[in-house]
Structures are given as structure tokens and as C-alpha cells.
Structure 1
Amino acid sequence: MIAFIDWFDGFLWGLPLIIVLLGTHVFCTVRTGVVQIHTFKGIKLSVTPDPDGEGDVSQFGALTTALAATIGTGNIIGVATAIANGGPGAVFWMWMTGVFGIATKYMETAMSVKYREQTEDGRMIGGAFTALERGMNAKWLGVIFALLGAIAAFGIGCMTQANSISTALGQNFGLPTWVSGIIVSVFTAFVILGGVKSITRVTERLVPFMAAFYVIGCIIVLCMNGGAVGTAFALIFKGAFTAQAGVGGLFGFTVAQAIRYGCARGLFSNESGMGSAPIVAASAKTRNPVRQSLVSMTGTFWDTVIICLLTGLTLVSSAVAHPEFVAGGVEDTTVLTFQAFGLIPVIGRPIIALSLALFAYSTILGWSYYGERCAEYLCGPKIITPYKIAFVIFSFVGCVVALNTVWTIADILNGLMVVPNVIGVWALSGVLVKDLKTYVNDIDAVDPTPIPVVNKQIADL
């Protein structure tokens, strides 16, 4: 059974999802008239409050919560895995998934915000599930998406992230797993039990700090590698289009491997097309769907176009400058990452250990909200508190047990979330593009369509 699960995970996140997601990225780019050209407008809007918008949290709060969930261990270990299996060229293809994925992030967010709903107590709820129900009259498909999201959150967004924290703290600071478990579960409970406003208050401060902290570490390593940075750039671009002979156990890869692993890890890292980030975007204060969608699409820009590229450059340049790091091959990609940051005297390894811990913890916060909203769509508001308590318990469990199979199952569930979400994006693209044309040059206009108030207890088909 375990062998089959591993096989199916590799199959799902191999050619099928690469084709589906890259195809959707290209489709959305063309369909929106290259919405990526508005990226810097989105960045400006993200720090411009929208007091007249309807919603629960600020646009910046929604963006940082989404970034909290997407900027995770995939930005560090995931990039190293792509390089180890696909060579330096994988960094280029990872970067390209980010560039084109910006358009998909725009479309899926626009879909979720446009079809969001308001609960009787005044909270916003939205995501692929409400869009599939209201926009396509396919509630059964929305239920499937919500069920996958509610379950997957315990794995990919909770237990595996907690395990990464306990591993990093244990290997670098000697902290027992049970101590890490207590710390993680207490800090998780303290934030998520306060609801989305509590989560966004933390992420608004945590995400900029942890991202800057990690980026500065990357820049220091790049400066220390000096002339190897230019060679690293050359290897990344050359490896993206031509096969490379083996050098020091790292660079012997085909173009097919570079494309496969670069795209797979990039798609997994930025979550464009998965439908997760739009769940919190639907809670943002925004006067029209386009405004928040432009803000949300910048999340893919920061996650993959900037942070993943910096990680890739840091690792490849370190391997070039210090070939002993990869002598005989790279079996444990975590080792390559710690060796690269270990170039910084004294504080290098603590920087990467703390970055891993912060990235993983922020992912827990973001995914707790995603899972909660999916569960509420399925079972009504009474499920919220039990779901949060369960999430806290699983965060402790994740710190103290081995999770290989749990990670794989959650990985599969995440991949399956893509299917109903992408169906919604393609089917509703005409309506979403019409909104884009209406509001993109009149970004302060108010959408006159009222947000429906609902009283859902248990999803019925």
C-alpha cells in the first residue's frame, strides 16, 4: 500500500500536473492579456489600505497570510531537491513557473473574491468551493475541493511543517522533539484560536521579517561566493536548454530532468493553481474583485520569482565555489543547504535553521485558516473550534513522530485540489476577464453586486 501511495504521488506530481498547471498558466497569461504587467501596481495596492472595501482583514493582511502559507520549506529544501535531481537548469524552469503562475494566481483569486459569501455573523467566506457552487452550479465539485483542503491542511500545512521545525531545532540547538512540540502547539494555539484577524496580525509582522532575514542571509552567501555567481547564472541558463555532463556529482542532468523537477518544485512552492491562497483573499477588504486579485498575484512573484531564485543562486554558486560540497553526489539536500549557509561564520547555520523554523511555522498559521474555511463550508460554523483544537493537537504530534507516509498522502491531496480549482478557472475565465477589463484602469470603482448572506450548516448535494 505504501509503495502504491509513493508511486501515485510521484505520478501525480510528475507529467500530469505539470501539463495541467503549466497549460493553465499559459492560458491565463494569454486570456488576461498578460496580467503580469500589473505586478508592480499590485505591490503598490498591497500597502495601500482600502477603507471602503467589504471584508474582514486588510489587503496586506490577506497577502501576508497567503505568503505565510506559501513561503515554506519548499523555498529552501524544495529548491535544493530540484537542483539535486534536475541540475542547475531546474532553477530556470522553477523561475518560469513563477512568472507564468502569476496569471493563474490572479484568475483563481478573482474567482474566489467574486463569488465569496457572507455568513450571518458578518464574516466573509470564499474559495474555489463557493465559486464552483455559485459560478458553475457545481456544488458537488466545491464539496470535493473543500474536503480535500480540510484534510490536506492537517498534513502538508500542519504535521509536516511541525516536523520540519522540530528537526531543525533538534539538529542545530539540541532541543528534544517533545519540547519543540510543546512550543509549536502553544504558539499555534495562541494565534489561530483568535481567528483570522489574530492570524493576519501575526503574519503582517512575521512574514516581512522572516523573508528579509532569509534574503539577507542569501545575499551574504552570494557575496562570499564572489565570482562563482556569474558561473552559477551561466549554468542555470545553459542547463535549462542543454544536457550537462557530470561535474562533481551534481551537474550531470538532461534537459528533461531540469524541466520536470524545476516545474514540479516551482508549482508546489508557489501553489498557483492549487486554490489555497484565494481562500484568505476572499476575506480581504476590497471594493472590487480585481483590486484584491492584483494584490494576491504578487504572492507568486515574491515566493518564486524572488525567493526561490535567490535560493537557487545561493546553492548553485556555493557548489561551484566549493565543489567539495557535492563531491560524490547529493543524497540529502538538507545537507547542501546547511553547507551553503555554513559559509557564514558562526551565525550561518543558525540563520538557515531559524529560517526553516519560521517558514514552517508561518505555513502552519496560513494553512490552519485554509483548512478551517474548507471545514466550515462543509459542516457549518460549529466545526470551527473543534477543527482549531484538532489542528493544535496535530501540530504537537507532527513534532514527535515520523511522517513519511503522512507527507506523501497530503502531497497527493494537494495535487488533487488542483483539478476542481483549475476547472473553475477555465470555465469562469470569460467572466473574470470581463471584470479585469472593467476595473483594472478604474481600480477604486465599487463593484455594485451585493455579497449574498448565507446560513450554511452542513453541505448538501
Structure 2
Amino acid sequence: MNKLNEILSLVDGYIGGSQWFVFLLLGTGLFFTFYLRFPQFRYLGPAFRIVRGKFDRQGDEGDTSHFQALTTALSGTVGTGNIAGVALAIHLGGPAALFWMFATALVGMTTKFVEVTLSHKYREKTADGTMAGGPMYYMKNRLNMKWLAVIFAVATIFSSFGTGNLPQINSIANSMHATFGIDKIITGGVLAVLLGFVIIGGIKRIAQVTSRLVPIMAVIYFVGAVAVILFNYQNIVPSIISVFSDVFTGTSAAGGFLGASFAFAFNRGVNRGLFSNEAGQGSAPIAHAAARAHEPVSEGMVALLEPFIDTIIICMLTGLVILSSGVWSEKLDNQFQSADIEVLAGRYVESHEADREQLADFLLGRTDLARYTGGLQVTEGRIAGDVTILHARSLAGEIVVSKDGKPFTGMLHVVNGHLPVDDGTRLHGKSLIHSAPLTTEAFTKSWFGASGRYIVAIGLLLFAFSTAISWSYYGGRAVTFLFGIKGEIYYRIVYVIGFFFASFTDTTIVWTFSGITIAMMTIPNLIGILMLRKEMKSEVKAFWKEYSDFFGNQKT
């Protein structure tokens, strides 16, 4: 597992985790923001009118309403990114990472407006009478670049697992295990069966399910989040200040958090922001292609609401919960995950300033420290030896080694800092935590107390399960594009099987794979919409020329 994670991390470092990818993503959004004169602000009002059905016409072609298309797309974006992804961004980049998530969402509203408009314009009707669309169709039908369309469709299939399948059930299973003690395999098995029943019904059943799940899960989560923030009211202003104060300098050490550089906060904030709202990834256009609409621009306006709701509202809410509760920098009792463990040669003491600085520089990649190789003697669960164990980017303490539920006595074999724990051996102790467990812990810091865990567990269950449903549709449409409608049934079977196995797979590996697949989809889509920038502008002008009176003389 460690070796696999190393390979995936190396690949991710050249693609999704690289600076050039971040600049391409933000640069495209900024370009269209100025090129189309800030549509994310000017078109919010018309977007809400369209969602309410005020722009509908009798006989519009499509399979879903504007609202159902929005909720289907939202269910694909509102998922673990809003609960686990925000926590991971803060864990890696500190509070400043939230600012870059916010900035990504703001420019992402324009990106999503553009990609949905162009994809909706070039959608097609499939053999079974349903509408199919997405970036692969404008790449094929408008750009005449079928090879690029094929690359995007293949990437969509992989990303349906990396974005909508594996991280979702993995986070659900972890949350259910931590909150209710339910075995991860049981959670995976039950939800895999339910997922199979839903996705067999196609887009109409998916739209019906998600249009009910999204409002329910939003209300539950909102109530729990506000309770935490108000309970810790004295930390609200300091938390908001911390988001903005270290934007260009990075976040200094706090508690068990050893600090983060500007580059780390910037990269992780943008990366997690994209995972959350998927602006530029090209996934939402697949859902919006099914909407009944006679004007592609109108559906693009509906789509720009997604990053606003998903990231600017829900992710910021989660961020304030984590920061105001203070758990992001606290070391908490937890079971260590193999991919998050690193054994260093020599002993580093956290209370010594020089040691803290060395560890911080090591975690940020500025310097290297000697990793331990050799045997570690363990007696009644306690490790002997001149070593330092890091877990979840923090110096771990109070470590107990167990095997089959009992204190372990024997030898642990460490290779280049990696400590294999796949033979039933487990490490428990105090360290920072991240992803869904961090958000879960934050939700206990309110009047609800320990019961706050149930809010996250239920919210995560609904959020992530609905995301898995929507992404099965995205991947299915990509399969249809490549192999025809008959290929979808085989894809759905593999999708459900993958969903089950991911429930008990290492979290860190799942998230690393996710970052790679996101980039694989995003890059060809951004290239495509930039090539069609002039057509996009003319579409917008033509739309307002015809419908400006309907929307109150909105200027182009």
C-alpha cells in the first residue's frame, strides 16, 4: 500500500498537485470572468428565475427540469469534498487554504457557466431516446477533435471512480465505523446493493432521488454546523481573521500543527476547491445536458449556482466549524493509517523549537530527514528505540501497538521509514487527524456534544451516497459515447463492485488517486472551452439580444 501511494503521489505531483495545473485552472476562470464581464455576479438573479421554471417553454427537449438538473449536478459536487475535503485542505494548508477554496469557487462559477453552455449546445439524443451531452460532444461535433473527446471520455470513466465512487464510500464507511462501530465491509455491502437499485433506473430515477436527498441533507448539515459555530462564538472572528491573515505568508505552527507555506496552502486550497465544486472538470455539463431547455445559455446560468452553493456556502460553513472548534490543531486519540505513518531515525522533541522547525521543513519538502530502516522492539504495545514516529503530518505520541485487539510484543520491521501494518498489527495514539474524522470531531464541540457525530455521519451518508449516484451517470454517459448504450450495464456492475471494495481501502491512497483523475478530466476540458471562447461570447450576446426584456433589460 505504501509503495502504491508513493507511485500515485509522484504522478499526482506532476499533474493535479503541480503549480501549472493550479494556474491553468484559475487562469481559465479569471480569463472568462473578464472576457464575459463577471457573469458570476450579473447573472445570479436570472439564474434563480430560471431554476424556478420562469423560463420554461412547452415542448422543450430533455429528460429533467432545471431544478432536477441542478440538484443532480449538486449531488455530484456536494459530497465528501464539503466534509472531508475541507478538513483535508485545512490539515495540509492551514486556515489560509480556505481562502483559496473560496477564490476557486468564485472564478469557478464562470468556468461552469461556460462549460455547461457549450456542452448543452452540442448534446445529442441517444438510441434509447434520452439526451447525452458533456465536453466530449462539443469536442467531437464542434472542434472536430474526436481524439480529444475520447481522452476526455476515458478520463471521465476513471474519474467516476476517483471522484464519485471510491472517496465517497470510503468516507461513509470510516464515519459509520467511528460513530456507530459498524464494520466497514457491512456498510460497503449494504450501500452497494442500494446503489445498484438506484442507478439501474437511469437518469429519471437518479433525478428523482437526488432532488429529494439534496434539500434534506443540506438542512440537516446546516443546523448542525450553525450549532457548532454559535457554541464557539468567541472564536468566530479569530477564525475568519486566520483565513485571510496568512494568505500570502502561510500558516504558522499552532498546537500539533507544524505549519504550512503559502505554496502549500495555495495548491491544496485550489485542489480541494476543485474537488468540491468540480468547476472546469467537465462533469456537471453531463448532468445539465439532460435538462429541458431551449437555450444553452439559460442552462449555463443555472450551473453557475453550483459553486456558489457548494463551496462558498457549504464549504465555508464546514471550514468555520473546524476552525472555531479548534480541533484542526489538536492531537486526538485515533487509529493510525499505514499511508500516513513515517518513521524517522533519531528522536525529535516537539517542545524544542529547533526540532519543531526541522520537522516543519521536512513536511513542507524544504529539507530531508533520515528515515529509519531496521527492527523496532515492541513490549506490551510500547515501542523501544531511538526513533520518531510521524502520523498525519504531526509528531505522534502515546503510541500503543496492538494485534488482534491485544497489546503486541515482538519486532516491527521498518523499511525506509515505512511501517507495514497489513498483518493485523495496528498503531493507536495521539496525532492530528484529517478528512471526515476531523469534521466529525469538530461537530461534537457544540450543545449537541457527542451526538454531533451523528449529524456528520448522516450528512456524510446522504452527501456522499448522492454523489456516487450522480457520478455513475457521468461515467455511464462516457461509456455510451465510447461504446454505445449497451456498454452501460457492464460499467454499472463494475461501478458497484468498486464501490464495495473502496469501503475498506486506505483513505490516503483513495484521495491521492482522486487528485490524479480530476486532473485527467479537467485539462482537456479547459483547453476545449478556451478554444471556443469567441463562440461562447457570441452565444451570450445573442441570448441577451433576444431575452433581455424577459429578464428586466439585463445588459450583456
Residue 190 of structure 2 is matched in structure 1 by 183
Corresponding residue of 2:443: 341
- CA distance in 2: counterparts of 1:255 and 1:393, whole angstroms: 40
Alpha-carbon distance in structure 1 between the residues aligned to 2:329 and 2:267 = 25
1:459 alignment partner in structure 2? none
Q: Which residue of 1 aligns with 2:458?
A: 354
* Alignment root-mean-square deviation, CA: 2.3
Q: Which of 12, 20, 28 in structure 1 is aligned with 2:15? A: 12
Counterpart of 1:6, as a letter, is S
Instruction: Give the length in aligned residue pairs.
Output: 445
Matched, 1:80 2:80: no
Instruction: Find the aligned partners of 2:432 and 2:147 in 1 and give their Cα distance.
Output: 43
Task: Render the CA deviation track for 1:361-408: whole Å, top value 9, x for unaligned.
Answer: 011001000000000000001112222222222222222444654553
Alignment map for 1:177-256 (pairs within 5 Å): 177-250=184-257, 252-256=259-263
Question: Which residue does the alignment assign to 1:65?
Answer: 72
Q: Does the alignment pair 1:27 with 2:34?
A: no
- Cα deviations by residue, 1:30-86 (Å, 9 ceiling, x for unpaired): 121111121232133223262432111111111111111111111112111211221
Give structure 1 stretches of 5+ with no counterpart. Answer: 447-461
Alignment of 1:15-414 (within 5 A): 15-37=19-41, 38-48=43-53, 50-52=56-58, 53-250=60-257, 252-319=259-326, 324=330, 331-334=432-435, 335-343=437-445, 344-402=448-506, 405=509, 407-414=511-518
Tell me if 1:437 matches 2:541: yes
SS, match of residue 342 in structure 1:
coil
Give SS of 1:240's match.
coil
Contact 1:325 1:339 survives alignment (8 Å): no
Mapped to 2, the partners of 1:257 and 1:389 lie a distance apart of 38
Task: Mark the CA change 1:402 to 1:200 in structure 2 (over 3 Å): closer, same or farther.
Answer: same
Asked which structure has the greater CA Rg, the reply is: 2
Q: What do the CA deviations read for 1:323-350 (whole angstroms, capped 9, x no partner)? A: 7568975632144322210113242011
1:83 counterpart SS class:
helix
Which stretch of the first structure deviates more once superposed, 404-413 or 218-227?
Answer: 404-413
d(CA) in 2 for partners of 1:80, 1:404: 13
Q: C-alpha distance in 1, partners of 2:107/2:191?
A: 35
**Comparing 249-258 with 300-309, which one deviates more in the overlay?**
249-258
| Aligned equivalents of 2:146, 2:275: Cα separation in 1 | 26
Contact 2:247 2:262 in 1 (8 A): yes
Partner Cα distance (2:208, 2:182) in 1? 28
Residues 404/239 of structure 1: CA separation in 2 closer, same or farther (3 Å cut): closer
Contact 1:146 1:375 in 2 (8 A): yes
Q: Give the aligned residue type for 1:146.
A: A
Please give the alpha-carbon distance, in whole angstroms, between the structure 2 residues aligned to 1:84 and 1:364.
Answer: 25
Identity of aligned residues (%): 39
* Structure-2 change in CA distance of 1:4 and 1:398 (3 Å): closer
Structure number with higher helix proportion? 1
> Is contact 2:79–2:466 with CA below 8 Å preserved after alignment?
yes
Query: What letter corresponds to residue 26 of structure 2 in structure 1?
Result: L
> Which stretches in structure 2 are left out of the alignment for 5+ residues?
334-349, 351-393, 395-430, 551-556
Q: Distance in 1 between matches of 2:125 and 2:283?
A: 19
* Larger displacement relative to structure 2 (324-333 or 238-247): 324-333
Q: Which string of whole-angstrom CA distances, capped at 9 and with x for unpartnered residues, describes residues 169-190 of structure 1?
A: 1221122223212321121122
CA distance in 2, matches of 1:401, 1:263: 25
Distance in 2 between residues matched to 1:244 and 1:410, nearest whole Å: 25
Q: Structure 2 vs 1, CA of residues 441 and 225 (structure 1 numbering), >3 Å: closer, same or farther? A: farther
Structure 1 position 433, deviation (Å): 1.4
Distance in 2 (alpha carbons) for counterparts of 1:429 and 1:171? 48
Q: Find the partner of 2:525 among 421, 429, 437.
A: 421
CA contact (8 A) 2:152 2:521 kept: yes
